[in-house]
């Protein structure tokens, strides 16, 4: 990606510059949360409440756990939590 001054007004960007910025933003968007702190941040709750949500089984399909390491797919967790 070429360097674009962030103070450049949008109307001065070429279509190519604009699409590059969008692609870069989409690729850099965070897809996962890590641990109970990340789950609490995702749902805007306490760590204790995040533990209860995880233990409830509602979002099991969005969680990958190996020992103490917990990886949560943000989008899938929000979808599953909203369905139940």
Per-residue pLDDT of 9-68, as tens digits, reads 989 989 988 888 888 776 667 789 999 999 999 999 999 999 999 999 999 999 999 999
Nearest to 42 by CA among 20, 71, 2: 71
To which residue do tokens 């510059």 refer?
Answer: 17
Based on the number of CB atoms within 10 Å of its own CB, is 41 exposed (0-12), middle (13-18) or buried (19 or more)? middle
Nearest to 43 by CA among 68, 67, 62, 28: 62
Per-residue pLDDT of 56-70, as tens digits, reads: 999 999 999 999 999
């Amino acid at each position: 990606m070429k360097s674009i001054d962030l103070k450049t007004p949008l109307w001065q960007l070429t279509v190519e510059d604009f699409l590059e910025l969008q692609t870069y933003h989409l690729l850099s968007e965070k897809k996962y949360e890590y641990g109970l702190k990340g789950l609490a941040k995702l749902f805007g709750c306490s760590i204790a409440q995040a533990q209860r949500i995880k233990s409830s089984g509602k979002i099991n399909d969005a969680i990958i756990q190996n020992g103490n390491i917990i990886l949560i797919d943000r989008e899938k967790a929000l979808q599953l939590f909203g369905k139940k």
